[in-house]
Amino acid sequence: MKHSLAQIWGIVLIAGGVLLLLGNMSGMDVGEIISTWWPLLLVAWGLSMLLRQGRGPRIDQTITSAGVSSTSVSTDQLGQSSVFGDVAVRVSSQAFRGGSLSTVFGDSEVDLRDCALAEGDHWLKISGVFGDLNVSLPKDVPVSVQASTTFGDVEVVDQKKEGFGPTMNYESPGFQTATRKLHIQASQVFGDVLIRS
């Protein structure tokens, strides 16, 4: 599904309007926000040009030890990106090694409840610009989480932070001594970050 330049600029104008409304209602300095974050528009535009073939409005994938449902994901390792549209990934690998997921315009959802880790330290990096980010933590797998957003709320397990630029760190019991562990870095610019067990 290709997106026209008019659609891209429509989204940019909507985001700009939301920023101006927030500035009027809360007294934040919109000029400073725009002067700091305007390069993201160039990044989004460039990514959309590189990934013209784009994806549909929602992508659902299952990653298993035997194989994957998409060519963008390698066995036991997540490797997904989307410019326009939501991404929902359910990981059921029994030798998961982490990976990365990124979105520009859309929500991200990663379900790790059915996965098991390969031996060693593994990293999962999830990032987005516009949209919410949701991660369901794996059962019985030691994890450390670094979660942050610029404009939104951060909730990790049973702790929540609100306001401008909230950041939260979490470490499950037994993480330091575990031989199999997962480090999760979750960051969002405009949207909420929810990490739940």
Query: 50: pLDDT confidence band, cut at 50, 70 and 90?
Result: low
Residue 104 CA to residue 120 CA, distance in Å, equals 31
Rounded-to-integer distance, Cα 172 and Cα 157, Å = 10
What is the tens place of the pLDDT at every residue in 106-147?
899 999 888 888 999 999 999 998 999 999 988 888 999 999
Using pLDDT thresholds of 50, 70 and 90, give the confidence band for residue 185: very high
Q: Around Cβ 21, how many Cβ atoms within 10 Å?
A: 11
Tell me the per-residue pLDDT of 12-43, one tens digit each, with 9 for 90 and over: 667 777 766 666 666 666 667 666 766 766 67
Q: How far is CA 104 from the centre of its chain?
A: 9
Predicted local confidence at residue 66, as pLDDT: 38
Token readout for 120 is: 């060693």
